[in-house]
Amino acid sequence: MAKKPRRPPPKSRRHHHHRNLLLLRYWRTPLVVAIVAAAAATLGVWRRPKPKEEEKAPPRRRRPEVAGAQWATLMAMGDAAYGAGKFEEAVSSYREALRLAPQLAAAHANLASALSRLDRVDEALDAAREGFFVSSLDSEERAAVLVNMGTALVRKRRVLEAWEAFEAARRENNESLEARHYASRTATSLGFLDSALSAAREAVGLDNTHEPSWLLLAAMGEENVPEDRLFATFEAKRKKDEDAAWRAIVEANERVERRKEPPATVVARAIVEMFPSPPAEPCDRGIVFLVGPPRAGRTLLHAALSRHPDVSTDGHVRTLLNDAIADLGPTAAARNKTLLKAYLDDMPPGRRFAIDANLVNIWWLGVLAELLGGKLRIVLLDRAFEPLAFSCFKTHFSSSSSGFDWAYDPRALSDRLAAINLLSDHWRRVFPRATITTLNFDDFLSHPEPTLRRLLAWLELDWDPSCLEPHKAEVPLDTPAALAVRTPGFRPPNSWQPYANRLARLMANDADHHPKVDDDDDDDDDNNIV
């Protein structure tokens, strides 16, 4: 067990305030000197000698003490701007502080974090690198700079380099919780499970309340989980004590702060009316959209397809389109050629198909069809209601994953799954069979090779047996399912069965919200690959 830190490590995911308390030891002395000097001059104890009449007065230079007081003020201004979300102002303040005090480690670290929040990732990396070579850095400060460098690299989708930066931060500072948290997370994403386990154990040694690390440890077989880590307690107890596990997961969901949102089914019906007949054109290359509910096989299928030589992906979930739709509105976004160019430039190039695995795209397939001129392929992910609902309810989605508040509330969960089902039925009706198909998660796990063969044939791609080894995917997988996918083999989950009735009671047996697929619809059956 790692030695406890001298002070509690920060729990916020914002790296900007990593080590701002360190400023106290830098500015306290210069500021006091400046105040004393000013007071002495006022009282006549010390005065600047007057120049002789025949000599010119030398140019007045800023005293280091005064400059020190000014950069301390600039740092405080930058901190306040950052806390208020005014990142441009924060960048300006930090740059000015560095002009006055180039060796100020905290200013380099905070500047890197603010630039990263503005998605100016290259500048953030430059700031972090410059900060790392400040001669006065101690090991704690070097670790903070390395963590900022790692987070900037993650935003740049250079996850392997980011993991290396987090590992270096671990070595620099034995008490950095953030270094261990992000090292564990990126190691899991890359499939370095031994490293992930080691970092998670060190993290809970530093902070016994660190939920993400306990979740990973519980998923990897750790049973000695604190009772107040409720999501992790469920994972640790579900095989031995179903009642205790269920109580833990219900209490865990009740503790999550949730925003109130309009009923998802109302929004889904509006979208159905907005796009009654989106365009569709035959295409043997382009973008494959994996859409549907979470916990329905997206990560597994993404990893499997990434192994195919004619499919390109970098493993990341793209949000550019959804952000643009939120800013511009669906109608304007569907006609925005600048947005189209930016989106296509962001996709990995060079092969017949590229993957966009953002599940939220199921809401905006009509926009995407218009934007891409109908040239797209859509794989609708499907899963039986009971295991799907339970899997969403028991998953602790990352706090950085926005839009999952509904998963913690039984009624909102039921409403969201009904909305996704309504949209799935609509897209199946309006898109032709060459454009859209359905993949059932449970069948995929039970019969992986036939399922993948049919999907590749639908995409007009040759069969490649490497697709049966998704655990060897060379791309990062940053979702709650990453650990399961990195474990070899296809295993149909059955952990939901003891809890199906309990969850149904929580949902008030609202049968109208349970998604149903019309099996009598011949068109829908023909659109299914499994």
**How many of the other CB atoms lie within 10 Å of CB of 523?**
11
Please, which residues bridge with residue 289 across strands?
356, 378
Q: How far lies 438's CA from each of 118, 278, 382, 433, 465, in Å?
A: 38, 18, 7, 10, 21
DSSP string, 488-507: SS-----TTGGGHHHHHHHT
What pLDDT shows up at residue 134?
73
Collect all residues with Cβ–Cβ distance below 8 Å to 13 and sequence separation of at least 6: 399, 400
Distance CA 347, CA 337 (A): 16
Query: Which residue, 395, 484, 490, is CA-closest to 191?
Result: 484
The three state secondary structure string of 293-358 is CCCCCHHHHHHHHHCCCCEECCCCCCCHHHHHHHHHCHHHHHCCHHHHHHHHHHCCCCCCEEEECC
Backbone angles phi, psi at 190, to 5 degrees: -90, -10
Encode pLDDT of 157-215 as tens digits.
Answer: 889 999 999 999 999 999 999 999 999 999 999 999 999 999 999 999 999 999 899 99
Instruction: Tell me what the mean pLDDT of segment 234-245 comes to.
Output: 87
In the numeric block, which tokens belong to residue 529?
């690959």
pTM for the whole thing?
0.75
Residue type, position 267, single letter? V
What letters, b where the CB count within 10 A reaches 16 and e where it falls short, cover 376-401? bbbbbbbbebbbbbbbbbbbbbeeee
What pLDDT shows up at residue 122?
85
Encode pLDDT of 29-74 as tens digits.
Answer: 343 333 333 333 333 333 333 433 333 333 333 434 445 568 888 9
Spatial contact of 109 and 173, defined as CB atoms under 8 Å apart: no
Backbone angles phi, psi at 409, to 5 degrees: -120, 120
Distance CA 113, CA 48 (A): 42
Query: Which residue, 316, 310, 282, 280, is CA-closest to 298?
Result: 316
Spatial contact of 435 and 377, defined as CB atoms under 8 Å apart: yes
In the numeric block, which tokens belong to residue 208?
């016994």
Ranges 51-55, 332-336, 377-381: which has the least confidence: 51-55
Query: Which residue, 161, 164, 157, is CA-closest to 179?
Result: 164
What pLDDT shows up at residue 173?
93
Measured between its terminal Cα atoms, the distance across the chain in Å is 49
Spatial contact of 529 and 439, defined as CB atoms under 8 Å apart: yes
Ranges 1-5, 164-168, 177-181, 258-262: which has the least confidence: 1-5
In the numeric block, which tokens belong to residue 97?
């502080």
Encode pLDDT of 495-523 as tens digits.
Answer: 788 888 888 888 765 444 444 434 334 44
**Residue 262: pLDDT band with limits 50, 70, 90:** confident
**Residue 140: pLDDT band with limits 50, 70, 90:** confident
Encode pLDDT of 293-305 as tens digits.
Answer: 999 999 999 999 9
More confident of the two residues 444 and 25: 444
What pLDDT shows up at residue 38?
38
Spatial contact of 322 and 339, defined as CB atoms under 8 Å apart: no
SS3 at position 388: helix
What pLDDT shows up at residue 505?
83
What pLDDT shows up at residue 451?
96
Spatial contact of 459 and 283, defined as CB atoms under 8 Å apart: no
Q: Tell me which H or E stretch contains 380.
A: strand 377-382
In the numeric block, which tokens belong to residue 116?
């990263």
Percent residues over pLDDT 70 in the chain: 81
More confident of the two residues 393 and 128: 393
What pLDDT shows up at residue 121?
82
Tell me what the pLDDT averaged over the chain comes to. Answer: 81
Rounded to 10 deg, the angle between the 121-132 and 105-117 helix axes is 170
Query: Which residue, 83, 137, 86, 64, is CA-closest to 107?
Result: 137
Q: Tell me which H or E stretch contains 290.
A: strand 286-291
Instruction: Tell me what the mean pLDDT of segment 454-476 comes to.
Output: 95
Distance CA 305, CA 313 (A): 9
**How many of the other CB atoms lie within 10 Å of CB of 77?**
17
**Residue 348: pLDDT band with limits 50, 70, 90:** confident
**Residue 20: pLDDT band with limits 50, 70, 90:** very low
Instruction: Tell me what the mean pLDDT of segment 139-159 comes to.
Output: 86
Residue 7 exposure: Cα atoms within 13 Å on the Cβ side: 7
Dihedral angle, C-alpha 440, 442, 445, 451, nearest 10 °: -30
What letters, b where the CB count within 10 A reaches 16 and e where it falls short, cover 206-215? bbeebbbbbb
Residue 352 exposure: Cα atoms within 13 Å on the Cβ side: 14
Residue 524 exposure: Cα atoms within 13 Å on the Cβ side: 16
What pLDDT shows up at residue 516?
43
Collect all residues with Cβ–Cβ distance below 8 Å to 32 and sequence separation of at least 6: none
What pLDDT shows up at residue 515?
45
What pLDDT shows up at residue 399?
58
Is residue 307's pLDDT more than 60? yes
DSSP 8-state secondary structure symbol assigned to residue 32: H
